[in-house]
Chains A and B, each alone.
Chain A
């Protein structure tokens, strides 16, 4: 009728095609979610396509980002001290690792000779060093991207360490990248044990605790009340994803549950998750390790 109506019709046509596009996109998303939920391997082509475009840039810019962070807390001569500090920290890290291993060996020897024989320490496993090139895009998860992937022999569920402690496990791989899910992540649950007494417990990350830097533990059966603050927590033999004997952290708070049977509390992780730079990936998957043992 009027020119205004004509304009509206065009406008309405544009709105309609946008609605159609939205419906198509939405349905596509839902289908993708359903398919990847049921068939996790469906992600692989996406993951491989992504590393062509994204990863090389992330690697370069990640370095710039790290340099920027470094510049912000740069104070003249402190660089030299920092280098020394870094070396000392590395030394301490390796000492902690040694100490944990020695303690564990001692414990195992004292307790069960046969258990000791079947247990392989993580220091014997082949490890691969990788750099953290990108963090998660949001605020809810503590996962990060490393610059090594399937092409370097990394597979899903491999364990990741840094500074002698457990960082997490590989949760997704591309050809040249992998995502590490940290143990402080809200999704993470690690079945672990107290070094020395061998009590089992579950260590689970929680979004509520991101600020405090600690992780929660629960279901600790400690009838005798032997477990105290400062005790070391290591991954246990019964964990299905984590290799045994890797240091997780130290208990900093423990209290009895209302049921008076189990205890729960908090653990200070051995790894500084805020400043992760390089990590070590253990090139061994828990299940494989078990197969090898049964073969022997």
Chain B
């Protein structure tokens, strides 16, 4: 019953995230930088629900981005599903039960997105501006997205696991580090 509800929530969150990203969240641009809510949701699902949720939601949200902003279907879909997969793997092997951990994952995932986009969309077309791209676009976006994830991650976790606060008991290990492998 709960599982069905969560699957429905995952199906609904796909268009919702894309629509919010392109409309309402345009109002929170700072210095023309908009945080990547889609990535936050992909990472949050990866860390709370595992690979399958993350790959599928990432794929479909990326597909929407492709349809509306690219001439190439599959470009963002590939990135978001890969991001979901690797973040889930990371979360499975190393989970630090602290809000700082998902925030850090989001930060690096967004940087990876910047590099992926830069290499395939600009560098290969001989548009070379690595410094400008990193300093003006990629890093600020990663920082802003990380800050947004501090608010959004607990909400997504609440929606999909019913847990709002950090779990007090950790699966294994005496520190906050749980290692399952």
Contact = CB atoms under 8 A, between A and B. Distances in A.
Contacts of A139: 32-34, 137, 141
Given A69-B27, A139-B32, A207-B122, A29 B19 contact: no
A62 B55 contact: no
Nearest to B19: A57
A50 B64 contact: yes
Give chain B's interface residue range (CB within 8 Å of chain A): 35 or more
A228 interface: no
A43 interface: yes
A136 B70 CA distance: 10
Most buried by A among B24, B32, B69: B69
| Chain A interface residue bracket vs B | 35 or more
Interface stretch (B2-10, B80-88, B97-105, B159-167): B80-88
B156 interface: no
Contacts of B122: 140, 186, 207
Given A21-B51, A140-B137, A171-B71, A135 B22 contact: yes
A214 interface: no
B15 A57 contact: yes
B73 A25 contact: no
A18 B22 contact: no
Contacts of B73: 32-33, 35-36, 42-43, 46
A59 B150 CA distance: 29
Nearest to B113: A138
Name the prevailing secondary structure of the B interface residues.
helix
Contacts of A26: 78, 81-82
A50 B68 contact: yes
Contacts, number: 161
Contacts of A72: 27
A54 B52 CA distance: 24
A134 interface: yes
A68 interface: yes
Contact of B52 (A21, A50, A179): A21
A40 interface: yes
A253 interface: no
Nearest to A40: B71
Contacts of A206: 127, 129
Interface in B60-82: 63-69, 71-75, 77-78, 81-82
Interface string A1-40: 0000000000100110111011001101111110111001
Given A136-B22, A137-B18, A140-B117, A172 B71 contact: yes
A29 B66 CA distance: 11
Nearest to B127: A186
Given A32-B73, A53-B15, A22 B51 contact: yes
Contact of A143 (B21, B26, B69): B69
A61 B26 CA distance: 11
A92 interface: no
Secondary structure at the A interface, as helix, strand, loop or mixed, is helix
A14 B50 contact: yes
Given A11-B180, A143-B69, A21 B55 contact: yes
Nearest to A68: B27
Contacts of A11: 92, 180
Interface string A36-78: 1100101100110010011001100110110011001000000
Contact of B133 (A57, A135, A137, A207): A207
A33 B92 contact: no
B91 to A, nearest CB: 12
B23 interface: yes
A65 B24 contact: yes
A211 B89 CA distance: 38
Given A29-B74, A69-B27, A134-B68, A61 B81 contact: no
Nearest to A47: B67
Contacts of B20: 61
Contacts of B168: none
Interface of B: 15, 18-27, 32-34, 36, 38, 50-52, 55-56, 59, 63-69, 71-75, 77-78, 81-82, 85, 88-89, 92, 117, 121-122, 127, 129, 132-133, 136-137, 141, 180
9 contacts: A21-B51, A22-B51, A26-B82, A33-B78, A36-B71, A43-B73, A65-B26, A137-B65, A207-B132
Given A32-B73, A134-B23, 4 more contacts: A65-B24, A135-B26, A137-B34, A172-B71
